[in-house]
Structure 1
Amino acid sequence: MVRSGRERLAGTVEIDEVYLAIHDRRATQSSAGRKSNTTKALIAVAVEILEPKGFGRIRLQPIADDTSACVLPFVRETVEPGSLLHTDGSSIYHCLSEEGYQHKRIVMSGADSPAHVSMPGVHRVSALLKRWLLGTHHGAVKPLQLDHYLDEFVFRFNRRTSRSRGQLFYRLLEQAVGANPATYRQIAQRPPKSVKLP
């Protein structure tokens, strides 16, 4: 569902990270009863902020941890240089100005307004993503396929105002024809036991 060569986000963009609880469909049986296998996945979130209000396009990507080494490549790949980036006060964002971005830091600790008021875009999108995963997929998403679920959410969100359902289907088919084929075995394969999931 990702169009190759898609334009990067521009203008005013909020950037943050969010944790998702991923529940494995195969619950394990224990002496205390059934319990699900839950993994936490860290997701980088970028949201265009439209003036005077509203949200534009979004980008989502799993990252290994919340360090500059993981977050900066996501920012470079998804946001046009020269854009104004709103972030929290984390030190991982200190070098954004050197990367060619305008940077506005919003320190959340001890602030008068809560985080969802200071940075409404990333918090609204994160809440919608969690609700979508819980409502549509009952929270049962395999960590190996998380990229695909995030791509679907981004595709749907970025086209939420489209008035032509036929055009959406056409665009999806157009992108599918241009993509390399993937077999079910490739999609559903298990990782080697030595591989640590994010």
Structure 2
Amino acid sequence: MERSHIPLSTWFWAAYLVSSQTPGLSAVQFQRQLGLSRYETAFGILHKLRAAMVRPDQDRIGGHPDQHVEVDETWVGGRTRGEGRGVHHKVLVAAAVEVRHREPGTAQDNRRDGRYAGRVRLAIAADRSAEALGGFVKSAVELGTLVITDDWSGYGGLRKDGYDHHAIAQCGDPEVPEEFLPIVHLVFSNLKSWINGIHHGVSAKHLQAYLNEFTFRFNRRFYPFNAFRSLLGIAGDATAPTKTELYSGEWRHPKCSGYGR
């Protein structure tokens, strides 16, 4: 907002729209809502606000004896048709999500054995190596937490790193991840639906910003009225990209706990 030619009232209205609209807004919708003449202005405002959706001192999830954390990775975005076998133009995204349990007797305690998602952390991973995936877990999850993953070798060092790591062998059985990693896969499904439904796909260059927005919304879904206050509070200490940094690719979108920076 500092040294901006956009009126302060517009910034507050923009922050309110971004934080209060449950599914979020695309840049085109945002432009129309604010009555802006240029798409680039709406795009820039949105990314400045997304930079304020990650606290600089963001804590790590987990650490509770009655909860565990599911960790997995998936490919997001890209088009593969007509380019042969394999993954093309997709980005590897790692996720860690707290698994909580509903009180017995509640209306939804029979869904997924009463399990539901707590807080989530999402970040682009360079690859599926132990350095990349293990580094993500260490930046996102408290030491000593019970962590459940598949049996990919990239997670093999978590027990040595200080986690109570349980690796689940899938053995090609699709029922195994549904039983042992249902919550993180649900998060991935919601993430991809949100990216394709609201934003109609995003570029790899800015994907981390959208992961940050999804995380911000997801973690405050039970307290929607606090989102606006949180956004304004974080914005006071956050560094936002300039137009030049945003379009040149110099800007590095923040990740959870500084992972990969």
Write the distance in 2 (CA, Å) between the matches of 1:42 and 1:67: 11
SS at match of 1:19: strand
Q: Distance in 2 between matches of 1:190 and 1:12?
A: 37
Question: 2:76 maps to what in 1?
Answer: 20
1:47 aligns with 2:97: yes
Distance in 2 (alpha carbons) for counterparts of 1:137 and 1:76: 30
1:102 to 157, 161, 164: 164
Instruction: Look up the SS of the partner of 1:97 in the other structure.
Output: helix
Offset of 1:109 from its aligned partner? 1.2
Change (3 A) 1:112 1:160: closer
* Runs of 4+ displaced beyond 4 Å: none
Q: Normalising to structure 2: TM-score of the pair? A: 0.63
Task: Report the secondary structure of 1:7's partner residue.
Answer: coil
Q: Please identify which structure carries the higher strand content.
A: 1
- C-alpha displacement of 1:121: 1.2
Aligned mate of 1:9, from 61, 64, 74: 61
Q: Give the TM-score taking structure 1 as reference length.
A: 0.82
The answer for unaligned runs of 5 or more in structure 2 is 1-52, 80-87, 102-113, 251-261
Q: Output the aligned Cα RMSD.
A: 1.7
- Which position in structure 1 is the counterpart of 2:199? 137
Secondary structure in 2 aligned to 1:50?
strand
* Aligned equivalents of 2:174, 2:77: Cα separation in 1: 29
Residue 196 (structure 1) aligns with: none
2:59 aligned partner, one-letter code: E
> Does the 8 A contact of 1:116 with 1:124 survive in 2?
no
User: Which one-letter code corresponds to 1:142 in the other structure?
Assistant: S
Confirm whether residue 160 of structure 1 aligns to residue 221 of structure 2: yes
Counterparts of 1:16 and 1:135 in 2: how far apart (Å)?
A: 23
Q: Could you say which residue in structure 1 is the equivalent of 2:228?
A: 169
Give 2:129's aligned amino acid.
T
The CA deviation at 1:22 is 3.5
Secondary structure in 1 matching 2:175: coil
- For residues 41-80 of structure 1, the aligned pairs below 5 Å read 41-51=91-101, 52-80=114-142
What is residue 180 of structure 2 aligned with on the other side?
118
Counterpart of 1:102, as a letter, is: D
- How far apart, in 2, do the equivalents of 1:111 and 1:138 lie? 32
Q: Find the aligned partners of 2:240 and 2:158 in 1 and give their Cα distance.
A: 37
Structure 1 residues 190 and 80: CA distance shift in structure 2, 3 A: closer
Q: 1:116: Cα distance to partner?
A: 2.6
Give the deviation of 1:59 after TM superposition. Answer: 0.4
The CA deviation string for residues 101-133 of structure 1, in whole angstroms up to 9 with x for no partner, is: 001111111448242332111100000000000
Select the residue among 184, 190, 197 that pairs with 2:243: 184
Paired residue total: 174
Question: Where is the helix percentage greater, Structure 1 or Structure 2?
Answer: 2
Q: Distance in 2 between matches of 1:49 and 1:117?
A: 13
